[in-house]
Structure 1
Amino acid sequence: MGGDVVGSVTETVKCLVWDLDQTLWQGILLENDEPQVPEEIRDVIVALDERGILQSIASRNDHDQAWEWLVKLDLAEYFVAPQIGWGRKSDSVRRIADELGFAERTIAFVDDQPVERAEVARFLPQVRCYPAESAGSLPSLPEFTPAVVTEDSRNRRKMYQAGTRRETARAEHTGADDDFLRSLDLRMRISRATPGELSRVEELTRRTSQMNATGVHYSDARLRALLTDPDHEVLVTTLTDRFGSHGAVGVMLLAKHPTMWHLKLLATSCRVVAFGAGAVLLNWLSDQAAMAGTHLVADFRRTDRNRMMEIAYRFAGFAGDACGCVDVITDDPGADGVQRLHLVPERQPAPTTMTVLAPDLAGGRDD
């Protein structure tokens, strides 16, 4: 690959953008060739998909004709946000990054033409560019090898495609927003994390920044120790609707003391903010604490990105000391400067826009 690769290779690629002619397939559509996909390339597409690396297309071709061939070749389902038309490749790659919400440094581009790779590298210097002849070896490269592949990773493409259908339905809905949410048949499941789910939980504490109450990252080892601690609850939240699964969307770390429950961490995925997932979780926890007759305390540390989480806590009724004399939590690694917010919990009504399936923390039995 030599000098063709542009940008840092220390970060895992989140999306690989393919050219079509003489790259993904052999043949040139404009010359009336019948495209053929080498088995090696098909294996690469499947392997990256199973690792949770999304794939897209930036190709100069007639859209309908190219997409028809992708369908015939049983490959269309693997590609999200495809850009097939007659514009510059750099513009296509930029649109893909914007639509997916990915930083350009997490995008890779493969093309058989040096001039096309050079054009992308000029206008998008953080995008990593690879020649077509190296496509077969991409899965062996460290930047295409995530450290951990979770269940959510393996389903990432399907979750994105479900999200696209969901957004289309939202755009077509003409009624109140709550009516649309009820039409989704949302089902939230809160459960005690199992050892097999720890990678998903750890990933949430690492990847979530806007909706992370403290910004503290809990390692797999730290989470594993908490799992076996009888005074702690490690709770993972998943969400599904009529379009499919949202995957793991929330994690709560709760220390249960005789007269106080201490919510050390709440982190939720940004992709479910519009569904009110954070508020539902806080109301459920408040309801559980009220049934247990215990005070509820939550950690919060302001970062440059988590203002929305602070609003969620305040809206749920949590408050710090009015004079600013808040306690500082020092019992967790990396938790310097964390405020202790207080709530006298009250029983809460069930949410009207989703069904919640959850354990009974107050009584110790699962629903």
Structure 2
Amino acid sequence: MNNYIYRNYTVEYLFSTTTYFSGYGELSLPPKDFDNIILFYQLGPHKTPEQQLKEIDEIRSKIELLTNQIKDRRIIIITLYQELNHDWELKNRELSTAINYFNYRFLKSLVTENPHIKVIDINQFLQCQLIEKIDWRFFFTSQMIINPKLAKSFKEWFYNQLNFITLKRKKCIVLDCDNTLWGGILGEEGIYGVKLGQDYPGNAYKSFQELLFALSQKGVILAVCSKNNLEDVQDLWKHNPNNLINDAVLSAYRINWENKAENIRAIAEELNIGLDSLVFVDDSPVERGIVRKFLPDVVTPDFPLKPYGLVDFFWNIYNEYFATFELSAEDLKKTEQYKEILLRKESQKKFENLDDYFVSLDMIVDIIPISESNITRIAQMTQKTNQFNLRTQRYTEEDLRKKVLLGSHIFCANVKDKFGDNGITIAAIIDENEHDLFLDSYLLSCRILGRGIEKVTILSIINDLINKTGKNIRAEYIPTKKNKMTQDFLEEIGFILQEEDAEGVKKYIFDQSKEIDIKSYYTIRRR
């Protein structure tokens, strides 16, 4: 990831070697394209309050000039450090007020008006550091604005923020029960004897559950993997009024006496997500060790030694694995959508053949052109979808806007049935040049696979574009470690293989004369 940084003090040691820097205070445009344009302006900590107030105005002017000039690339602005200020009067905290206004009014207005601008709050990082934020010796000898001892932790934090901006985060927390969601052993202490309530340590476990419950409403899937009697846990779910994490909140659970590594693998398969999308939380070092050994893709953080550490533990794993710059509508509905998957599976058991089951679903596919209302979700899908993804191209919102300006046709599809609305779960990007069309990307969420929707949707889009443009369409399959399920998809929908190289990359042309058997139990609507 290439970054170009505007700054007014030395900050090279804070970033990776793929970062390029402007001259100090320079305002000329970058010489070439970069993934991110970063504005890292900070106040001089050695200056008087009057000088710092003037500096705030200068920084604001520079940011306004640059953001007005750069409209087609992602700009990341880092807030001013709030503790780098001193006011002459406690009664009249003029500088502190100016910094707050800059950070939370001026920058917020920029983000609201310009979708390509993102803001990272450096105070979130610095307030957690226990060493001095400025090393005055280094500042006066090298103009280093932040203590060099913070470089390693800053790099880790900063690049995590970039991941969150590009919508990369884990999908699911898998939780143990005893001494994790409540204190004590359920089988020994009973549904009312476990520690879960108003007094310590029960209040710590209750706070942990409240945070997890809130997280489930923000697009993170919750699951349980516990060595316990299922009936005992279900009894607690039903009767203990202090318990919040139950089958109404969980998208999957394995409560038995089997190996936890195998149970976690089964949960991932049931939810149709990769093991690298999971974070496993368990108080037992032995169980954590087993999962780390046999499921190395699963993140397994150390559990706090004492219950009073649970709140900090929650926010640490949230900020490291689940933070996101912006929640999409699909994120907010995700828990309900995964529960609907289980309802569909139960319903399917009532039918002897698949066609009758599909007819019963009353499936509706709405194909929608890209717009500001769905561009975040489309970008999110390109960043996160791995299994059903023909070419695995990653795009930001700014990348997608550029493609539209260059004439690309970008669509998404909303899929719903009698059990609920899956939301936007399909995305297609088709480039157009003078001679033909090219299927740059086609991907869909694995939670809607297995119903033929992937075929009928892309064929509807392709046929419509061919009719409108009079051009045929080319396509390509690029193999990855995770997208093997799509290796024959293009041939199944009427593409002819033209060549395949030694790496398994396949190139295709669409056969307009080929008849594809598409069932009639879908309702396809174009918006």
Secondary structure of the 2:359 match is helix
CA contact (8 A) 1:287 1:347 kept: no
How far does the alpha carbon of each residue in 1:306-357 deviate from its partner, in whole angstroms, 9 at most, with x for none?
5654533333333355xx599xxxxxxxxxx784624447999985021011
Q: Is residue 423 of structure 2 the alignment partner of residue 247 of structure 1?
A: yes
Quick one: which of 129, 144, 158 aligns to 2:322? 144
Hey, what's the Cα distance between the residues in 2 that align with 1:69 and 1:325?
A: 57
Quick one: which of 407, 411, 415 aligns to 1:235? 411
Quick one: which of 226, 232, 243 aligns to 1:59? 226
In structure 2, runs of 5+ residues without a counterpart are 1-156, 161-167, 198-202
Q: Which residue of 2 aligns with 1:355?
A: 523
Q: Is residue 210 of structure 2 the alignment partner of residue 32 of structure 1?
A: no
Secondary structure of the 1:213 match is coil
Q: Which residue of 2 aligns with 1:217?
A: 394
Query: Partner amino acid for 1:185?
Result: D
- For CA contacts below 8 A with separation 6 or more, give which structure has more relative contact order: 1
Hey, what's the Cα distance between the residues in 2 that align with 1:318 and 1:294?
A: 17
Once the 2 structures are TM-superposed, how far is the Cα of residue 214 of structure 1 from its aligned partner? 2.5
Q: Which residue of 2 aligns with 1:23?
A: 180
Quick one: which of 355, 366, 380 aligns to 1:178? 355
Hey, what's the Cα distance between the residues in 1 that align with 2:525 and 2:183?
A: 50
Once the 2 structures are TM-superposed, how far is the Cα of residue 44 of structure 1 from its aligned partner? 1.6
CA contact (8 A) 1:212 1:306 kept: yes
Counterparts in 2 of 1:43 and 1:233: CA distance versus 1, 3 Å: same
Counterparts in 2 of 1:48 and 1:130: CA distance versus 1, 3 Å: farther
Larger of the two Rg values belongs to structure: 2
Query: Partner amino acid for 1:19?
Result: D
Once the 2 structures are TM-superposed, how far is the Cα of residue 185 of structure 1 from its aligned partner? 0.5
CA contact (8 A) 1:261 1:295 kept: yes
Secondary structure of the 2:356 match is helix
Counterparts in 2 of 1:282 and 1:16: CA distance versus 1, 3 Å: closer
Once the 2 structures are TM-superposed, how far is the Cα of residue 147 of structure 1 from its aligned partner? 5.1
Counterparts in 2 of 1:185 and 1:145: CA distance versus 1, 3 Å: same
Secondary structure of the 1:167 match is helix
Query: Partner amino acid for 1:278?
Result: E
Secondary structure of the 1:16 match is strand
Quick one: which of 240, 245, 249 aligns to 1:78? 249
TM-score in terms of structure 2 length:
0.56
CA contact (8 A) 2:436 2:474 kept: no
Q: Which residue of 2 aligns with 1:331?
A: none
Counterparts in 2 of 1:279 and 1:123: CA distance versus 1, 3 Å: closer
Q: Which residue of 1 aligns with 2:369?
A: 192
Query: Partner amino acid for 1:173?
Result: F
Q: Which residue of 1 aligns with 2:496?
A: 319
How far does the alpha carbon of each residue in 1:27-66 deviate from its partner, in whole angstroms, 9 at most, with x for none?
5432235142544223321232133222222333321221
Counterparts in 2 of 1:217 and 1:117: CA distance versus 1, 3 Å: closer
Query: Partner amino acid for 1:84?
Result: I
Hey, what's the Cα distance between the residues in 2 that align with 1:105 and 1:264?
A: 26
Q: Which residue of 2 aligns with 1:285?
A: 461
TM-score in terms of structure 1 length:
0.77
How far does the alpha carbon of each residue in 1:61-103 deviate from its partner, in whole angstroms, 9 at most, with x for none?
3212212222343432122322223345445434434433444
Counterparts in 2 of 1:167 and 1:206: CA distance versus 1, 3 Å: same
Q: Which residue of 2 aligns with 1:169?
A: 347
Counterparts in 2 of 1:261 and 1:142: CA distance versus 1, 3 Å: same
Q: Which residue of 2 aligns with 1:5?
A: none
Secondary structure of the 2:391 match is coil
Query: Partner amino acid for 2:233?
Result: A
Secondary structure of the 1:168 match is helix
Once the 2 structures are TM-superposed, how far is the Cα of residue 166 of structure 1 from its aligned partner? 0.7
Identity %: 21
CA contact (8 A) 1:15 1:53 kept: yes
Secondary structure of the 1:252 match is strand
Note the 1:323-342 alignment, pairs <5 A. 339=507, 341-342=509-510
Q: Which residue of 1 aligns with 2:215?
A: 48
Aligned residues: 338
CA contact (8 A) 2:222 2:251 kept: yes
Query: Partner amino acid for 2:252?
Result: A
Secondary structure of the 2:495 match is coil
Hey, what's the Cα distance between the residues in 2 that align with 1:120 and 1:205?
A: 29
Query: Partner amino acid for 1:205?
Result: T
Hey, what's the Cα distance between the residues in 2 that align with 1:258 and 1:278?
A: 28
Counterparts in 2 of 1:81 and 1:273: CA distance versus 1, 3 Å: closer
Q: Which residue of 2 aligns with 1:362?
A: none
Between stretches 184-193 and 74-83, larger displacement belongs to: 74-83
Counterparts in 2 of 1:118 and 1:295: CA distance versus 1, 3 Å: closer
Counterparts in 2 of 1:288 and 1:346: CA distance versus 1, 3 Å: farther
Hey, what's the Cα distance between the residues in 1 that align with 2:488 and 2:297?
A: 34
Hey, what's the Cα distance between the residues in 2 that align with 1:58 and 1:310?
A: 33
Counterparts in 2 of 1:135 and 1:108: CA distance versus 1, 3 Å: farther
Secondary structure of the 1:178 match is helix
Hey, what's the Cα distance between the residues in 2 that align with 1:251 and 1:308?
A: 17
